[in-house]
Amino acid sequence: MTISLKALVAGCALSLLGTTAFAQTLAPLNSDTETNRIEWSQLDAKFGAVPAAPSGTRVGGVSKTLTNEYWRSLGEGYQDYAKKAGVEVVYQAAQSEGDQLGQLSIAENLISQGFSALLLSPQTDNNLQPALESAEAQNIPVVNVNDAVIPGARHYVGNVQRDNGVRVAQWFLKNRPQGGKVAVIEGQAGVFAAGQRTKGFSETIAKDGKFTVVASVPGNWDRQVAYDAASTILQQNPDLIGIYANNDGMALGVVEAVKAAGLKDKVVVFGTDGISDAYASIKAGDLTGTVDSFPVLTGEVAMEVALRLVGKQDLPRVVSTPQALITKDNIDTFAVKGDALRAVLMKQSAN
């Protein structure tokens, strides 16, 4: 912790002095609206083959936590691509999604070990800023990978976070044209993805004036917290027609609260991420849907981007990855893996 606090102080000092190159040349990153971007499916066409990695290339990945399947799947994508490319990858995570200093310490440790590139998925928009600055000072390429956004990041890989909420809101507009009361269980306060997902849902569903967002409360990415919040909302609004949760773990907690309240046939529930438990719940008729952001593929794309940067390719600041609203109507199309999923998503991208 001592090292981490020193790094925080040093990072803040560097920021105040404006000595880091990216602080001088880059505007704070908004990964949803950044115009210097390319879709994942266009990398080969635009930049050609991935350069062969030099012997001994090692890539370090720092995740939010491994208790959430999404982040385990992201690491699986890192490993799969690294194995094909013949490079070593080390993937580590904090003990919980609230251990910001622990995550920073992990990132600092990887930097000290001389990795060729780093893949960072920060817990908040600012907790890994000192590590980013330290890596940049040593000319180590850094890729910010979903879902919090480091303002000074030169490279980001992930989906358009606002669109997660937009897609769910569009389902309500189409399938519940009579309107009604809805609610949102948000992610962690101060995290870019949580804010954008919530904003995308709330702003889109308000467009026709038939829906009212009666509650929008933090669930902190936690299933039990989401269960408790949803239970309270349902007690206060027995005529609620739907709830959107910012991730699938929370959505599954909401499903249990809805069932406990005896409102399964009246209240639809949506999540975000596309974890296997969400797919199983949709097939079982409990969860109505999820916005899958395909974490294994995202991990593969992020590793590809890291190796392109190691190979000195000049890439756009944002490489956007795919997402899709999954319901019982299309679940079989997306419930595939590997090359079969890539084919589906490439076709989606072409359309």
CB distance 211 to 167 below 8 Å: no
- For domain 161-292, the CATH superfamily is Response regulator (3.40.50.2300)
pLDDT for residue 25:
75
Which residues of the chain fall short of a pLDDT of 70? 1-24
Give the pLDDT confidence score for residue 159 in this predicted structure. 97
CATH topology for 2-7+27-159+295-321 is Rossmann fold (3.40.50)
Q: How confident is the model at residue 190, as a pLDDT?
A: 86
Structure confidence by residue, pLDDT tens digits, 18-46: 433 444 478 999 999 999 999 999 999 99
C-alpha span between 145 and 155 (Å, rounded): 9
- Looking at residue 349, its pLDDT comes to 86
Q: By C-alpha distance, which of 183, 328, 337 is closest to 263?
A: 183
Where do the structural domains in the chain lie, given as residue ranges? 2-7+27-159+295-321, 161-292
161-292 matches 2-7+27-159+295-321 in CATH topology: yes
The two most distant CA atoms of the chain are separated, in Å, by 62
Residue whose C-alpha is closest to residue 138's, from 60, 63, 31: 60
Structure tokens that stand for 88 in this block:
């070593």
Name the H helices within 152-287.
161-175, 192-205, 223-236, 248-260, 276-283
pLDDT tens-digit profile of 83-99?
Answer: 999 999 999 999 998 89
> Is the omega angle on the peptide bond into residue 222 within 30 degrees of 0, that is, cis?
no
Residue of 40, 102, 131, 9 lying closest to 315 (CA atoms)? 40
Q: Tell me how far apart the alpha carbons of residues 312 and 118 are, in angstroms, rounded to a whole number.
A: 15
| pLDDT value at residue 7 | 43
- The whole-model pTM stands at 0.91
C-alpha torsion sign, points 190, 69, 330, 341: positive
Query: What DSSP string runs through 36-90?
Result: SEEEGGGHHHHH-SPPPPPTT-EEEEEES-SSSHHHHHHHHHHHHHHHHHT-EEE
